[in-house]
Amino acid sequence: MFGTQGFKIYEAGGVPVSVSPTFLILLVIVVGFNGIVPGTALAAAVFLSVLIHEYGHAIVALRFKLGAAVLIHGLGGLCFHRPASSDRDDALVLVGGPLLEIIAGAAVFAGVFFAPEVLAIPWVGTFLSAFAYFSILWGLINLFAPIYPLDGGRLFHLLLRRLMPEASARTWALRVSMAALVLAGAYAVTAQAFFLVLVVFMLGMDNYNALQSGAPLVSRGSGRARPMSDFGKELLSGAEAAFADEDWREAARLCHQLRASVSTISDKQMKRVWEILGLATARMGEHEEAMEYLKRAPDTAAVKEAREACEAKAGSW
Ligand SMILES: [Zn+2]
């Protein structure tokens, strides 16, 4: 229901941002309960707060060269990135989201404290108070509540991993998370907070599925999934160096190795791989094979020239 599909709305700072149709369902519910003006102000405040939260994760993920993409959905947001190479990096990415969100909420609180008259403007007042309260509350819950798959639950699991073997850490993290959800659910039912009941139920399902499936709660960058920052980039710079030294065989060998680990490199880098591979193979005299690679390479002057040469050679025998 709250899947990972969404419409891309914009891209800023190398981070594509998408919105899931489930966010529109939330918008309709909030407007339905609160009226058009306050409802839209509330939804806009939550949207901006969650967006800042996810950008907090994304900024740290980009710092570790893990790439990042943000999805805003009906129950919050998600920041996708490649697996971090250590628990420490993972923890910093996790802390970055709620920390930036709390800072943003506190900044609005401080602003309103010095200029309280803005609260009298209907739409603006609702928007600013909702933004400040939601940001601080949601940020603190995400940071400190040991609820999986929220940030706090993941941080708690990373903490347990330092104290016990992974299998026990995983089980205990999920048990504590379930216990916290039972408490939150009991509170939500007593307070007749319909939306909170829904959130607790969805999170409970995530926990139940995680316990049943036995899938790891964290994945580390290793082997094929190692980030481009080390493995792929080393291979590509090796291929560039061999190509510059006119060692065509070595350049081609490294390119073939890169093709096997295509999941770790970007489209742009893959184009460069096709270019080096095509040119190196052409230099070795394998014209028909080279054409296959050159077809996928970008239209640089060297590539065009090599394509023409290969066509002439391939046609002449
Ligand atoms: Zn988060």
Tens of pLDDT along the chain (317 residues) come to 334 456 777 777 778 888 888 788 878 888 888 788 888 888 899 999 999 999 999 999 999 888 888 888 877 888 888 888 889 999 999 999 999 999 999 999 999 999 888 888 878 998 999 999 999 999 999 999 999 989 999 999 999 999 999 888 999 999 999 999 999 999 999 998 887 898 899 889 888 888 887 777 887 754 334 444 466 777 788 888 888 888 898 888 888 877 765 555 677 888 888 999 999 999 988 888 899 899 989 998 999 999 988 888 765 54
Are 61 and 80 in contact by the 8 Å Cβ rule? The answer is no
Q: How far is the CA of 151 from the centre of ligand 1 (A)?
A: 5
Bridge partners, residue 77, by sequence: 72
**Side-chain half-sphere of 11: how many Cα atoms within 13 Å?**
7
Q: Enumerate the β-bridge partners of residue 16.
A: 11
Distances (CA, A) of 279 to 129, 175, 274, 294: 61, 57, 8, 7
Residue 307 Cα, ligand 1 centroid: separation in angstroms?
Answer: 49
Compute the distance from residue 138 Cα to the ligand 1 centre, in Å. 9
- Residue 179: other Cβ atoms inside 10 A: 12
The CATH classification of domain 223-315, taken from the options 1.25.40.10, 3.30.700.30, 1.20.1090.10, 3.40.50.1000: 1.25.40.10
Residue 12 has phi, psi (to 5 degrees) of -135, 135
Q: How far is the CA of 93 from the centre of ligand 1 (A)?
A: 9
Give the per-residue pLDDT at 263. Answer: 55
Q: How far is the CA of 105 from the centre of ligand 1 (A)?
A: 15
What are phi and psi for residue 70, nearest 5 degrees?
A: -115, 140
Ligand 1 centroid from CA 112, angstroms? 26
Q: How far is the CA of 212 from the centre of ligand 1 (A)?
A: 24
Q: Is the peptide bond before 149 cis (omega within 30 degrees of 0)?
A: yes
Looking at residue 6, its pLDDT comes to 67
C-alpha distance across the termini of the chain, in Å: 60
Q: Give the pLDDT score at 315.
A: 57
- Cα 98 from Cα 34, distance rounded (Å): 27
Q: What separation in Å is there between the alpha carbon of 97 and the centre of ligand 1?
A: 5
Residue-level pLDDT at 5? 59
Interval between CA 139 and ligand 1 midpoint (Å): 8
90 CA to centre of ligand 1 in angstroms: 12
Contact (Cβ atoms closer than 8 angstroms) between residue 242 and residue 250: yes
Name which of 76, 73, 79, 78 is nearest 22 in CA terms.
Answer: 73
Distance 31 CA to ligand 1 centre (A): 25
Cross-strand bridge partners of residue 71: 18, 78
Backbone φ/ψ region at 14: left (φ over 0), alpha (ψ -120 to 50), beta: left
Q: How far is the CA of 213 from the centre of ligand 1 (A)?
A: 23
What is the residue type of 317?
A: W
Please state whether the predicted TM-score (pTM) of the whole model is above 0.85.
no
CA of 219 to the centre of ligand 1 (A): 17
pLDDT of residue 227: 47
* Dihedral angle, C-alpha 22, 24, 25, 31, nearest 10 °: 150
Break the chain into its structural domains and give their ranges: 7-144, 223-315
Rounded to the nearest whole angstrom, what is the distance from the C-alpha of residue 121 to the centroid of ligand 1? 31
Å from CA of 196 to ligand 1 middle = 18
